[in-house]
Structure 1
Amino acid sequence: MSTHRFVTTDEVRMHVAEQGAGEPVIFCHGFPHTGYMWHRQLPAVAEAGFHALAPDLRGYGRTEVRASADAYTNRAVIGDLLALLDDLDAEKAVFVGIDFGAQLVWELALRAPERVHGVIVLNNPFAPRPPAAPSRLWAKAAARHFLHLDYFQKPGVADAELAACPREFLTRVYYSLSADYHYLDTWKFPAEGTGYLDVLPEAPALPWSWLSDHEFDTLAADFERTGFTGGLEWYRALDRNWELTAEYADARVGVPAYFLYGAKDPDMEGFSGRDPLTTLRENVPDLRAVTEVAGAGHLVQLERTAEVNTLITTHLRELRGAPVEHGN
């Protein structure tokens, strides 16, 4: 059973769910998630002999919401994660990330490799810093079709649309990102005059085979209370992230790394370049395993929980140096 507490960093009061004891394993979520998105992984990792922690990252859940996009850069949030490590009196941790949490973990490995025992990343592979600010690329794409990355850049617009019907938005976006739908069909709509709910499919009634009513209600309750602005600010900080990583333009990730992805993940299909796995291997020299998870989309840790838990705990044991079975 997870326990909950707050850790005060230099800038925010951060809510953390945790379970187990031993070397820390810190799980970093994406949008629109909270730390609860990892609740099926925490007991498995704790049972394997580790201290599993899932913070609500800045702007999400019970962690404080800041007013400006500049407070949501990876550099700022990395400060929160290092403060959590200091609170644990731990020199290093293994970091697990998906979506924005994946980008965060990759950058953490560049900025503070001495605090990283290893990384386990889901669905969002490392890629070098692009030659231009990301918003320029999104604007070009949005001239041809709707693109949420561009739509989210307009302060207050998506915030109001999504906050007006949080449960409907969450069901639609979770369903559209899963293996049960082809997310890139949202690109069939024009950008002009189109909102996010206009392009997302109607979702079947809950429960789904991979998401229960209770799990959805728990996730939705936080967004019903907070709205989505905190999460949307992460999108608005992406150009600032690009500016702040100029010194890492040619850097490669040197820490031990593992990568797993859903076979039907839309980020791998449409947002990670033409050959994401080759790019990953070229830029992460200590990449120890790459695993495709069949029958899963973007929410792979929910859609294929048993497989993902086995992969994560196997990788953790390898990092710890314990013998593992390789038959899975």
Structure 2
Amino acid sequence: MELTHRFVTANGVRMHVAEQGAGYPVIFCHGFPHTWFIWHHQLAAVAAAGYRAIAPDLRGYGQTDAPADIDSYTNRAVIGDLLALLDDIGAEQAVFVGLDFGAALVWELALRAPERVRGVIVLNNPFAPRPPRAPSQLWAKAAARHFLHLHYFQQPGVADAELAARPRDFLARVYYSLSADYHYLDTWQFPAEGTGYLDVLPEAPPLPWRWLTEAEFDTLAAEFERTGFTGGLNWYRALDRNWELAADYADASVTVPAYFVYGDHDPDMEGFSGRDPLATLRASVPDLRAVTEIADAGHLVQLERAGEVGALLTAHLRELVTDTSEVPA
């Protein structure tokens, strides 16, 4: 049950991986601004239930390589990392768990390589079909009315410098603002012109919080103090390229077994996923087996309600993998 760390070199990058437990593989994919550590509660819970819990630092984050080229951060490129990780552990399939960018990643993995996916468990970011226009066009239109981080992050070097100058302050503010303790869409009250991200984010209360200890925050912050944020920001800058590369999947459905979990105060569900995200999800994912809303939780639901999320994951895994000792070959 000990948590271990190692590196996998494949698909052109050296990837840091945290692992705990033994049995059927369950691969956790984080978002921005996170590292593998955002899943540490769930790694322990899933390992205790008899599975091999695996959480990589995705490319651009933590101890994993951060290529300079924006095209290196497309979903197609990072899916290559995940498939290489499967090959490294000798598994034909795994269950994939995703949040934020990690959610979009595992949804697209299920489209591109369904034969490698036993099932997906996605937090807060529902599947939606490819939009008719490039994402940056939609963000520019919104940014004409109010500040929008998606638009602000597009210019290389701008947000990078702002956030790297005050990494701990930024992380505390953004984690707090995305939680159920704040209403993230209040950041839309600010104009886009001449505004930085720290100008719109609220002051964070002193740690510890009810769902985040000082030690946990220090672990997350230390990595970004060392690396900066450019690797993570490049995922935003690759979103138009993702849109181009997904043209062949514009009308595709996700056919693998899927489970969806979301916080009742999640800002993505409120403001970034369309007018009726659950209806769209159900229409596009025919083998959607359960949708669970978790009360008093925001975008960091796996930290805010760690026990509930761990219990849900293990329940869903028991449905997907009846023999926990099974290792797909």
Q: TM-score range by the shorter chain?
A: over 0.9
TM-score by length of 1: 0.98
1:319 aligns with 2:315: no
Q: Which contiguous aligned blocks of 4+ residues in structure 1 show a shift greater than 6 angstroms?
A: none
Q: CA deviation at 1:9?
A: 1.1
Q: Which amino acid aligns with 1:302?
A: L
Q: Which amino acid aligns with 1:280?
A: L
- Cα displacement string for residues 208-243 of structure 1 (whole angstroms, at most 9, x for unaligned residues): 010000000000000000000000000000000000
Pairwise CA RMSD: 0.9
Alignment match, 1:326: none
Instruction: Point out where structure 2 has 5 or more consecutive residues left out of the alignment.
Output: 325-329
1 CA distance for matches of 2:280 and 2:91? 32
1:299 aligns with 2:300: yes
1:49 aligns with 2:50: yes
2 CA distance for matches of 1:270 and 1:31? 17
Instruction: Point out where structure 1 has 5 or more consecutive residues left out of the alignment.
Output: 324-328
Q: Aligned pair count?
A: 323
Q: CA deviation at 1:49?
A: 0.8
Alignment match, 2:7: 6
Alignment match, 1:22: 23
Alignment match, 1:86: 87
- Secondary structure of 2:121 counterpart: strand
2 CA distance for matches of 1:229 and 1:32? 10
Structure 2 counterparts to residues 159-308 of structure 1, below 5 A? 159-308=160-309
Alignment match, 2:327: none
Q: Which amino acid aligns with 1:21?
A: A
Identical columns (%): 80
2 CA distance for matches of 1:50 and 1:116? 16
- Cα displacement string for residues 135-172 of structure 1 (whole angstroms, at most 9, x for unaligned residues): 00000000000000000001100000000000000000
1:98 aligns with 2:106: no
Q: CA deviation at 1:322?
A: 6.7
Q: Which amino acid aligns with 2:295?
A: A
Q: Larger relative contact order (C-alpha < 8 A, sep ≥ 6)?
A: 2
1:130 aligns with 2:109: no
1 CA distance for matches of 2:24 and 2:8? 18
- Secondary structure of 2:126 counterpart: coil
Q: CA deviation at 1:321?
A: 3.1
- Secondary structure of 1:233 counterpart: helix
1 CA distance for matches of 2:257 and 2:322? 13
1:150 aligns with 2:151: yes
- Cα displacement string for residues 264-311 of structure 1 (whole angstroms, at most 9, x for unaligned residues): 000000000000000000000000000000000000000001110000
1 CA distance for matches of 2:115 and 2:269? 29
